[in-house]
Amino acid sequence: MRAEIITIGDELLIGQVVDTNSAWMAQRLNEAGIELYQITSVHDDREHILRALDEAFSRADIVLTTGGLGPTKDDITKHVMCEYFNTQLVEDSQVHAHILDLYKERPNVLNSLTATQWLVPESAEILPNRVGSAPIMVFKKTTFGTLETVRTFSTQGTKFLVAMPGVPHEMKIAMSEQVIPYLQEKMGRENGGIIHRTLMLYGIAESTLAIQIEEWENALPASMHLAYLPKDGVIRLRLSTYGDATENEIDTQIEALKPFIEDYLIATEDLPLEAILGNLLKDRQQTIATAESCTGGRLAAALNAQSGSSAYYMGTVVAYDNSIKEQVLGVQRDTLIAKGAVSERTVCEMAEGVRALMCTDYAIATSGIAGPTGGTPDKPVGTVWIAWATPKGTEAECFHFGVAREREQITQRAVTAALVKMIKIIGRS
Amino acid sequence: MRAEIITIGDELLIGQVVDTNSAWMAQRLNEAGIELYQITSVHDDREHILRALDEAFSRADIVLTTGGLGPTKDDITKHVMCEYFNTQLVEDSQVHAHILDLYKERPNVLNSLTATQWLVPESAEILPNRVGSAPIMVFKKTTFGTLETVRTFSTQGTKFLVAMPGVPHEMKIAMSEQVIPYLQEKMGRENGGIIHRTLMLYGIAESTLAIQIEEWENALPASMHLAYLPKDGVIRLRLSTYGDATENEIDTQIEALKPFIEDYLIATEDLPLEAILGNLLKDRQQTIATAESCTGGRLAAALNAQSGSSAYYMGTVVAYDNSIKEQVLGVQRDTLIAKGAVSERTVCEMAEGVRALMCTDYAIATSGIAGPTGGTPDKPVGTVWIAWATPKGTEAECFHFGVAREREQITQRAVTAALVKMIKIIGRS
C-alpha cells in the first residue's frame, strides 16, 4: 500500500515555513506499514493542486494533503477538493456543534469566517478534528479526476484522499487518533510491512565506515537496503526491508555487523542523543546539570525536550560573562586571567562548579568560540572546550569544529560531542 | 523564471530527516527573483528520480536537486544524472586536487570510496564545493530526457539542472557562493521580481483579524496576494507581488493597513522575535538575562541564536529544582512553600533574582507546567507564569496554553509570549 503527501501553501515555497509535518507523517505511515512514495509541496493555487492530485493518484493508493483549510481567503483547498471530486459544500451539524464547543470560552472568535468551517464537501466522509475548527475530510476515488490530462491507473480497489489542516499539532492529533486507524481499518493492515533498524555511530568518517563494513554490506540479501545518514558528526546506519524479509532475518544481519563497528557504536536504536542519556540516568537514578557558554542553552533545551527530564536534569547556568562564571559557578578569577574563558582549566571549574551548585552526580560544561567573530590565531573560531564532571573526577577535551562551519553548526557539533561523551562515560561506569 | 527543487533521499520519506534545506533554498531563490514552483521529495531510486526530473522540467526552467551525492552505495544521484543527460563519468583533476587538500589533515579519510568523488559527468559544468568532497554539477538541458514519457516543453532558451549535496552546510555555501550567482549570470537578473512584505501580529485570532481587515483586503489590486501564516500565537501577514507591482505600490497598501491592526502589530518585517528583541537591546545598549523553569533553556537558546548576542544577553539559570531557585536565584523559601513554584510571587522573585545576579537591565522568568504530567485541578497542564523585571519594576502574567497542546507547543508558546511582551515593554520605555 503506497501513499503520497501533498503539502499545500505558498509559505512553503517562499521558505517562510519549514515543512516539519511531512517527516512526522512519514514516520507514522511507516510504523503503520504504509510506504510513503513521494512528498510534494505546491502553491495555494487551483491548477497546481489539481495537477498534483492527479499525478499523486497515478502513483499511489492514498494521498494525504495538509494545509489550506483555514477560514481566510488564501485557503482554497476545500473548494479545489470539491471541484476535483465533483461535489459541493453543505452544512455539517456535528462540525457546527464541535466548533461552538471549541470556542465557548472565546465567543468573540465566532464570526462569519469561522462559520465557513462547518461547510464540508457533500461526498466527503468527515473525521473530527478534536483540537481545531477545520474538519478532516476523506474522499474516496473510484472515478477519474477532472483534468484533461488524467492518466489511466488501476481502479482495482478504492483510492483515498485525506485532507488535513497544516497546523502541526492539529495534524498530529488527527493522524494519530483518526487517520491512521481509519486507513488501517479500510485498507486492512498488511502483514510483514516495513522494518527498519538503525545503529548510531560517532567518531568515524562515512567513507571509512563504508570500507570497514564493505564485505558485510556486499553480502546483504537483495531484500535489504542499507543507508548512511551522517549528521552533526553522528552517522545513522539504517538497514531496511520493505516486506521481503522478517524481523529475525534483519536482526541476524545487525548482529553480524556489530563486531565491525563496536568502537563507534553509541546506540542500537534511532533515538535523540538526549533520550539515550536520559534513559541511562533514569535507569541509574542519577542526576546531571550543565554550565554553558558557547552552546548558550542549547544543551539545556536538548536535555529538557524529553518529558520526565526533571527527574534527572537539574538545570543549567548559561554564563557568557566572566563575572557570572566567577560569581555563580565559582570559577577562580586567577584561572580566567591566566588561562582565559576558553580553556581546559576554566571549563573544568565550570563543570565542577555547577555540579556542586546543583548537587548532581554529573555535570557538563562548554566554553568555546562559536563565531563568526571572536576568534584568535591560537583559538580560532570553532575551538570548543568541553568538560565532564563525574563522581570519580573531571575530564576535558578540546574540539575544533571550525573548518568551514557556521555558528549554528559549531554549537550543534559541540552539543553532540558533549552528549556522546557523557553517554560513553556513564555507560562504562 | 521558474525553479523547482527535488530533494533525493529515502531518509526524507521514512521521516528520519526533516527537509530543512528546501525552505532555506526557497528563501535564497525568492531573494534572487526566481519563483519556486514546487518541491518534490523522492527516493534514492533510479526510476523515481528520472520521472521527477522529467516532470519538473515540464514545468520549470531550473531544477535544483539535493542529496544522493555521497560516496556510499546508497548514493546514486550522479549515476542517474549521467543516464538522464546521456553522458559518462570522467576524472576531474581540479576536484581531485581539492579533495586532497580538503583531507590533508585527515589522510585516513582518503580511500577507494572517497576517490569516486572526483569522477564527474563529462557533459556537466563543475562548480567547486568549498567545504565538502561532492562537486556541484550543472547540466544544460536543450534536448529531451531519456524517458519514453517525455513531454513536449518549450525549448526556448536553455534549462538548467543543478545537483548539490544534501548536507545542509555544504548546500548553503554552494547556493550562496556558487549557484545563485551562476544562475543570475546565465539567465540574466529579471527586473521587478518578487516582492514580499510581512507584518507580525500577536494577540488576535486569525479569523477575527481577517474580518477586521476585510474591507482593506477586498480593495487590494489583483497584482497583490495576501496570506495569513499563524504559528505559536503569532500571525505573519504577508503581502506579495510576483513582478506585477512596484515596491511603492505595495508599501502604500501596507501603510493603509496599519491603522486596522496597530494594537496587535509587533514588527513590520519577518524576523524571529529574538532578533527583534536583540535589535532593541543593541540600539539601547541594554542587557537582559533569563531564569527558566518550564521553558528549560529554550528561551536562552532562542536569544543565543543571534550572532552578537553576547553583547546584550548575559545568560540564563535553568532551575527546575526548588533548591536551585532558592540558592542560585534567591527565591524565598516562604514563597515556594506558601505559593508554590508555579506562582506569580515565585516567578517575580526568579526574574528579580537573575536580574540582580547577572546585573542586567531586564530579566525574564518562566515557571509553569509543560506536561504531559504534573498538572493539578487549579494549575492544569499548560499553566505558565511569566515575569518581566525592568529598571522600573516587575510585571507578571499567567497564561493557559494547555488546551489540547503538547509539551513542545506549550514551551514554544511560553517562549513566544515571553519575548513578545518583553519587546512591547522595551519598545514603550
Residues B351 and B365 sit within 8 Å (Cβ to Cβ) = yes
pLDDT at residue B147, as a whole number: 37
- Please list every residue in chain A whose beta carbon sits closer than 8 Å to the beta carbon of residue B198: 16
- What is the tens place of the pLDDT at every residue in A13-41? 988 888 999 999 998 998 787 889 999 99
Cβ within 8 Å, pair B304-A298: yes
Q: Is A151 on the interface with B (CB under 8 A)?
A: no
- What is the tens place of the pLDDT at every residue in B58-68? 999 999 999 99
Which residue of B112, B207, B321 is in closest CB contact with A114?
Answer: B207
Q: Kindly state the cell numbers that stand for B333.
A: 523559601
User: A273-428 sits in which CATH class?
Assistant: alpha beta
Instruction: Kindly tell me the burial class for residue A10, based on how many C-beta atoms sit within 10 Å of its own C-beta (0-12, 13-18, 19 or more).
Output: buried
Distance separating alpha carbons of residues B423 and B281, to the nearest angstrom:
9
β pairing state of A288-292 and A362-368: parallel
Q: Kindly state the cell numbers that stand for A227.
A: 543507508
Residues A335 and A345 sit within 8 Å (Cβ to Cβ) = yes
Residue type, A136: I
Distance separating alpha carbons of residues A33 and A354, to the nearest angstrom:
46
Instruction: Cite the DSSP H helix spans in B153-199.
Output: 168-174, 180-187
Name the helix (H) or strand (E) containing B228: strand B225-231
How far, rounded to the nearest angstrom, does the alpha carbon of residue B65 sit from its chain's CA centroid? 19
Q: Is B222 on the interface with A (CB under 8 A)?
A: no
- Please list every residue in chain A whose beta carbon sits closer than 8 Å to the beta carbon of residue B42: 38
Nearest CA-CA partner of A178 in A194, A191, A160, A192: A160
pLDDT class of A421 with cuts at 50, 70, 90 = very high
Selected for mutation to probe chain B from A316, A360, A407 (highest B CB count within 10 Å) is A316
End-to-end CA distance of chain B: 47
- What is the tens place of the pLDDT at every residue in A217-239? 999 998 898 888 888 889 989 89
Cβ within 8 Å, pair B17-A23: yes
**Average of per-residue pLDDT across B70-78:** 89
- What is the tens place of the pLDDT at every residue in A371-405? 777 888 888 889 999 999 999 999 999 999 876 56
Q: Give the other-Cβ count within 10 Å of A215's Cβ.
A: 9
Higher pLDDT, A368 or A106: A368
Nearest CA-CA partner of B3 in B40, B36, B51, B41: B36
One-letter-per-residue 3-state SS of A195-235: EEEEEEEECCCHHHHHHHCHHHHHCCCCCCEEEEEEECCEE
Query: A94 vs chain B: nearest CA distance in angstroms?
Result: 19
- The CA-atom distances, in angstroms, between A114 and each of A9, A68, A98 are 20, 14, 12
- What is the tens place of the pLDDT at every residue in A94-136? 999 999 888 887 777 788 888 899 999 999 999 999 888 899 9
- Please list every residue in chain B whose beta carbon sits closer than 8 Å to the beta carbon of residue A405: 131, 169
- Please list every residue in chain A whose beta carbon sits closer than 8 Å to the beta carbon of residue B36: 13-15
Distance separating alpha carbons of residues B13 and A26, to the nearest angstrom:
6
Q: Give the other-Cβ count within 10 Å of B249's Cβ.
A: 14
Query: A124 vs chain B: nearest CA distance in angstroms?
Result: 24
Which residue of B10, B36, B301 is in closest CB contact with A296?
Answer: B301
Nearest CA-CA partner of A312 in A321, A303, A324: A303
Provide DSSP, A143-158: S--SSTTPPP---SS-
- The CA-atom distances, in angstroms, between A190 and each of A31, A242, B13 are 11, 11, 19
Q: Is A213 on the interface with B (CB under 8 A)?
A: no
pLDDT class of A252 with cuts at 50, 70, 90 = very high
Cβ within 8 Å, pair A211-B41: no
What are the DSSP E strand ranges found in B43-170?
62-66, 89-91, 119-121, 125-127, 136-141, 159-164
- The CA-atom distances, in angstroms, between B44 and each of A20, A251, A270, B1, B13 are 20, 23, 20, 28, 10
What mean pLDDT is reported for chain A? 88
Residues A315 and B324 sit within 8 Å (Cβ to Cβ) = yes
Cβ within 8 Å, pair A305-B408: yes
pLDDT class of B70 with cuts at 50, 70, 90 = confident
Minimum CA–CA partner of A69 in chain B:
B228
Residue type, A56: A
pLDDT class of A288 with cuts at 50, 70, 90 = very high
Is the model's pLDDT at A355 over the cut of 70?
A: yes
Minimum CA–CA partner of B56 in chain A:
A40
Residues of chain B with CATH 3.90.950.20: 273-428
- What is the tens place of the pLDDT at every residue in B363-396? 999 999 988 778 888 888 899 999 999 999 999 9
Is the model's pLDDT at B339 over the cut of 50?
A: yes
Query: B316 vs chain A: nearest CA distance in angstroms?
Result: 5
- What is the tens place of the pLDDT at every residue in A292-301? 998 988 999 8
Residues of chain B with CATH 3.30.70.2860: 194-267
Cβ within 8 Å, pair B12-A206: no
Q: Is B161 on the interface with A (CB under 8 A)?
A: no
Q: Is B26 on the interface with A (CB under 8 A)?
A: yes
pLDDT at residue A401, as a whole number: 87
Category of A275 on φ-ψ map: left (φ > 0), alpha (ψ -120 to 50) or beta: alpha
Name the percent of chain B in helix, strand, coil, to the closest 5: 40, 25, 35
As a whole number of angstroms, the longest Cα–Cα distance in chain A is 80
**Annotation: CATH topology of B2-187:** Molybdenum Cofactor Biosythetic Enzyme; Chain A (3.40.980)
Minimum CA–CA partner of B317 in chain A:
A317
Which residue of A28, A36, A109 is in closest CB contact with B208?
Answer: A109
pLDDT class of A145 with cuts at 50, 70, 90 = very low
pLDDT class of A286 with cuts at 50, 70, 90 = very high
- Phi/psi at B389 (nearest 5 deg)? -95, 135
- What is the tens place of the pLDDT at every residue in A64-98? 999 999 888 889 999 999 999 999 999 999 999 99
Is the model's pLDDT at A176 over the cut of 90?
A: yes
Is the model's pLDDT at B110 over the cut of 90?
A: no
Distance separating alpha carbons of residues A36 and B367, to the nearest angstrom:
41
Q: Is A383 on the interface with B (CB under 8 A)?
A: no
- Please list every residue in chain A whose beta carbon sits closer than 8 Å to the beta carbon of residue B317: 315-318, 328
Which residue of B22, B297, B404 is in closest CB contact with A300?
Answer: B297
As a whole number of angstroms, the longest Cα–Cα distance in chain B is 79
- Please list every residue in chain B whose beta carbon sits closer than 8 Å to the beta carbon of residue A311: none
Residues A77 and A173 sit within 8 Å (Cβ to Cβ) = no
Is the model's pLDDT at B78 over the cut of 90?
A: yes
Distance separating alpha carbons of residues B409 and A131, to the nearest angstrom:
13
In degrees, to the nearest 5, what angle opens at C-alpha B372 toward C-alphas B367 and B375? 60
- What is the tens place of the pLDDT at every residue in B181-239? 898 887 665 545 678 899 999 999 888 999 999 999 999 998 898 888 888 889 989 89
**Contacts by residues B308-313 (CB-CB < 8 Å, ≥ 24 positions apart):** B308/A373, B308/B278, B308/B282, B309/A296, B309/B278, B310/A320, B310/A321, B311/B282, B312/B278, B312/B281, B312/B282, B312/B286, B312/B287, B312/B288, B313/A320, B313/B278, B313/B281, B313/B287, B313/B288, B313/B289
pLDDT at residue B146, as a whole number: 41
Selected for mutation to probe chain B from A4, A7, A10, A14 (highest B CB count within 10 Å) is A14
- Please list every residue in chain A whose beta carbon sits closer than 8 Å to the beta carbon of residue B406: 169, 172
Which residue of B70, B114, B320 is in closest CB contact with A315?
Answer: B320
List, as ranges, residues 76-105 from B with C-beta within 8 Å of A: none
- Please list every residue in chain A whose beta carbon sits closer than 8 Å to the beta carbon of residue B34: none
- Please list every residue in chain B whose beta carbon sits closer than 8 Å to the beta carbon of residue A330: none
- List of residues 6+ apart from A103 with CB closer than 8 A: A109, A110, A114, A133
β pairing state of A159-164 and A136-141: antiparallel
Find out whether the peptide bond into B71 is cis, omega within 30 degrees of 0.
Answer: no
Q: Kindly state the cell numbers that stand for A248.
A: 529475525
**Average of per-residue pLDDT across B38-65:** 95
- Phi/psi at B352 (nearest 5 deg)? -65, -35
Which residue of A15, A196, A316 is in closest CB contact with B297?
Answer: A316
Nearest CA-CA partner of B7 in B171, B124, B139, B234: B171
Cβ within 8 Å, pair B315-A314: no
Q: Is A325 on the interface with B (CB under 8 A)?
A: no
- What is the tens place of the pLDDT at every residue in B229-280? 888 889 989 898 877 788 899 999 999 999 999 999 999 988 999 999 999 9
pLDDT class of B148 with cuts at 50, 70, 90 = very low
Residues A370 and A341 sit within 8 Å (Cβ to Cβ) = no
Cβ within 8 Å, pair A26-B39: no
pLDDT at residue B23, as a whole number: 94
Query: B296 vs chain A: nearest CA distance in angstroms?
Result: 6
- List of residues 6+ apart from A320 with CB closer than 8 A: A293, A296, B310, B313, B314, B315
- List of residues 6+ apart from B126 with CB closer than 8 A: B92, B94, B95, B120, B135, B136, B137, B138
Minimum CA–CA partner of A198 in chain B:
B16
Q: Is A128 on the interface with B (CB under 8 A)?
A: no
- List of residues 6+ apart from A132 with CB closer than 8 A: A102, A165, A167, A170
Q: Is B134 on the interface with A (CB under 8 A)?
A: no
Which residue of B18, B270, B407 is in closest CB contact with A18?
Answer: B18
Selected for mutation to probe chain B from A31, A39, A59, A373 (highest B CB count within 10 Å) is A39
Is the model's pLDDT at A150 over the cut of 50?
A: no
Q: Give the other-Cβ count within 10 Å of B227's Cβ.
A: 21
Please give the share of chain A, as a percent, with pLDDT higher than 90. Answer: 60
Q: Is A310 on the interface with B (CB under 8 A)?
A: yes
Cβ within 8 Å, pair A318-B304: yes
Cβ within 8 Å, pair B320-A299: no
Query: A284 vs chain B: nearest CA distance in angstroms?
Result: 19
pLDDT at residue A191, as a whole number: 47
Is the pTM above the cut of 0.90? no
Please give the share of chain B, as a percent, with pLDDT higher than 90. Answer: 60
Which of 1.10.3720.10, 3.30.70.2860, 3.40.50.300, 3.40.50.1820 is the CATH number of A194-267? Answer: 3.30.70.2860
Minimum CA–CA partner of A195 in chain B:
B14
Cβ within 8 Å, pair B327-A357: yes
Query: B358 vs chain A: nearest CA distance in angstroms?
Result: 6
Find out whether the peptide bond into A372 is cis, omega within 30 degrees of 0.
Answer: yes
Distance separating alpha carbons of residues B187 and B159, to the nearest angstrom:
9
pLDDT class of A193 with cuts at 50, 70, 90 = low
Query: A61 vs chain B: nearest CA distance in angstroms?
Result: 16
Residues of chain B with CATH 3.40.980.10: 2-187
